[in-house]
């Protein structure tokens, strides 16, 4: 089971690196990167790429195996990731999302790809120059309901290539993957809209592939260092072997490929939750520091009726943060030990999304004008926080997933 006695030597070692990076490379430029939306933190990206090559990429951020042998991943890998993602997000959540080599695209390849596909695409993460990967799922009419995807993929018998047409919106790191670096994006498309989820497959599209074009770059509330784009696909031709999963549509059942792709989220949702907790911890620590500077001491251990209102607020925030972290640790421990964790992944993401929103908002409220202005990073953390309640499944969707798991209902029975 999970041990709370002592962190592993590997976690302690990498946390020292993460803390140094967060304090010296992220915090000093955090405001600048937020103001200059669209700027790319190349110093951070190049440093992290080099550091991950020397230390082992999985030590710092989500990093699939590059040899197609995910079963040989060292135990506690996802626990290690959670600790370090939390620390990097404490530094700056937007810059953390600019960490190269990993990403949802490579996670999807690991989850649903063949050994040959993993070797072909994931080995590229170890090249000399950093690359990014992305995953394109969301469409204007298909947000949380993946069965509504309309982007079409059809096989051209003459060339044995897949031809994709459609539009994808809100693609995280899409510009970095397809323009700024020689990466790839995993696009979800349907072979047959009438088949629902059973007809959906994912396709690896590499940078410089004709027919895929960025048509919009979003201006966002928070995480502004991280790019979010819209792709259009017009007769985009993809090699047959770049499809993840089985091309055969099996009537009235989801294929292994689709299920494997969805398993990606059971791994990544707790890691998103860890990022949220890093932002929340940053805000809470700053609040405590500023209160202490004004002579406000938080007297832990006293009955609530003997505490001031501010003390009660801070202690409640502490409780929320710690309970959310425990949910994350449980979910990633289960991932490391090969245990089904759909319920725990959904609960950790749901809880952390709510907690980071509440803590950052409350910190701004307690400090009033000081929390609202731009002299401090509190207002930025407030803006960065909200995305954690939205991407990788909104709070409402994760609540629905958790309810299905607890009550034993299928997606068709409980919507």
The set of catalytic residues is 392
What tokens were used for 257?
A: 């490929």
**Burial class of 97 by CB neighbour count within 10 A (0 to 12, 13 to 18, 19+):** buried
Coil vs helix vs strand at 82: helix
């Amino acid at each position: 089971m999970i041990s709370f006695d002592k962190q592993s030597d590997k976690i302690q070692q990498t946390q020292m690196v993460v803390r140094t990076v967060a304090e010296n490379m992220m915090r000093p430029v955090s405001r600048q990167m937020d103001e200059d939306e669209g700027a790319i933190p190349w110093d951070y990206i190049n440093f992290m790429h080099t550091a991950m090559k020397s230390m082992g990429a999985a030590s710092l951020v989500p990093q699939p195996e590059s040899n197609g042998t995910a079963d040989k991943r060292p135990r506690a890998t996802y626990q290690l990731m959670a600790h370090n993602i939390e620390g990097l997000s404490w530094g700056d959540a937007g810059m953390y999302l600019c960490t190269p080599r990993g990403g949802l695209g490579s996670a999807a390849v690991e989850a649903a790809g063949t050994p040959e596909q993993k070797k072909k695409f994931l080995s590229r993460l170890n090249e000399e120059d950093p690359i990014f990967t992305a995953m394109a799922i969301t469409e204007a009419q298909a947000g949380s309901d993946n069965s509504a995807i309309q982007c079409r993929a059809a096989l051209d018998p003459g060339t044995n290539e897949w031809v994709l047409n459609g539009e994808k919106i809100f693609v995280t790191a899409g510009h970095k993957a397809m323009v700024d670096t020689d990466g790839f994006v995993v696009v979800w498309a349907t072979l047959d809209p009438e088949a629902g989820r059973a007809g959906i497959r994912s396709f690896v599209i590499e940078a410089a592939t004709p027919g895929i074009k960025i048509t919009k770059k979003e201006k966002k509330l928070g995480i502004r260092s991280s790019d979010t784009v819209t792709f259009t696909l017009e007769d985009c031709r993809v090699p047959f072997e770049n499809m993840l999963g089985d091309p055969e549509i099996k009537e009235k059942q989801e294929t292994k490929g689709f299920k494997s792709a969805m398993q990606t989220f059971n791994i990544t949702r707790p890691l998103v939750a860890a990022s949220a907790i890093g932002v929340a911890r940053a805000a809470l620590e700053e609040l405590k520091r500023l209160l202490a500077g004004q002579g406000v001491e938080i007297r832990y251990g006293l009955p609530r009726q003997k505490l001031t209102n501010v003390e009660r607020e801070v202690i409640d925030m502490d409780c929320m943060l710690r309970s959310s972290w425990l949910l994350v640790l449980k979910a990633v421990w289960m991932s490391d030990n090969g245990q089904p964790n759909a319920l725990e992944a959904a609960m950790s993401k749901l809880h952390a999304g709510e907690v980071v929103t509440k803590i950052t908002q409350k910190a701004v409220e307690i400090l009033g004008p000081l929390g609202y202005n731009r002299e401090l990073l509190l207002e930025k953390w407030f803006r960065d926080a909200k995305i954690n309640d939205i991407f990788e499944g909104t709070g409402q969707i994760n609540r629905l997933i958790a309810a299905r798991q607890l009550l034993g209902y299928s997606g068709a029975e409980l919507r």
